[in-house]
Amino acid sequence: MKHVLRHLSKLATCLLALSLIALPVTASAQDDGVERLRQALANLDSLSAGFEQTVLDSEFTVDEVSSGTVEIKRPGRFRWDYTDPYEQLIVADGERMWIYEADLEQATVQSMDETLASSPAMLLTGSADLDEGFHLEDEGRQGRLYWVRLVPRVQDSEFESVRIGIGEQTIELMELRDNIGQTTRIEFHSIELNPPIDDGRFQFSPPEGTDVIER
């Protein structure tokens, strides 16, 4: 059960973060955080970064810390690699999405169809509209970061809200609060904006002996 819960939590976090992380901000953007976020989405083509993810329970006690790397490339391709404390890979080529858990020798694959079309991850494709999916609330500048709060318009969303901290050049922090009071905090580092990324990075072939589940 613990494996199942951590799998679902990381998948939801991955899909959300991939749609919004490390979006480029130009000097001409207004000081308003919402405007910075809008311009960032318009300018995003590809990205690679490292990350550290901290999960806090409803009492704000640290429940889990993990780290890894992320790569994205429009349209609709992403690779989310957890490397510590255990391995997990979520990768999509624009048509199918794989979730591979090395310690379980298990891979799940599903089509990126209408089911995922309602996910924030689909903002990566350029076909989704930010305002259609979220209510946007500017929280002003706090220290060196501009903060924006996103509240999903969909009633049965898996998360309650997301706070995004934008620095002078890019998004640096994300805080996702789910419907059971758990908060996931993601800090990004070693960010490269719009780098060339080979399409092969978004392909996946299950290792021999892997149990493959199709949805």
- pTM of the entire structure? 0.78
CATH number, domain of 14, equals: 2.50.20.10
Q: What percent of the chain has pLDDT over 90?
A: 34
Residue labelled with tokens 């706070």: 163
165: β partners: 147, 173
Question: How much is the pLDDT for 1?
Answer: 40
Q: Say how many domains are in the chain.
A: 1
Please state whether beta strands 134-142 and 145-152 pair in parallel, antiparallel, or not at all (unpaired): antiparallel
How many residues are given for the chain? 215
Residue-level pLDDT at 3: 44
Under a CB-based contact definition with an 8 Å cutoff, are residues 163 and 136 in contact? Answer: no
8 Å CB contact between 40 and 194: no
Q: What is the mean pLDDT of each run of 10 residues along the chain (215 residues)?
A: 45 56 44 78 83 92 93 87 93 91 94 60 56 86 88 78 80 86 90 92 95 93
How does pLDDT run across 80-98, given as a tens digit for each residue?
Answer: 999 999 899 999 998 899 9
Domain of 105, in residue numbers: 2-214
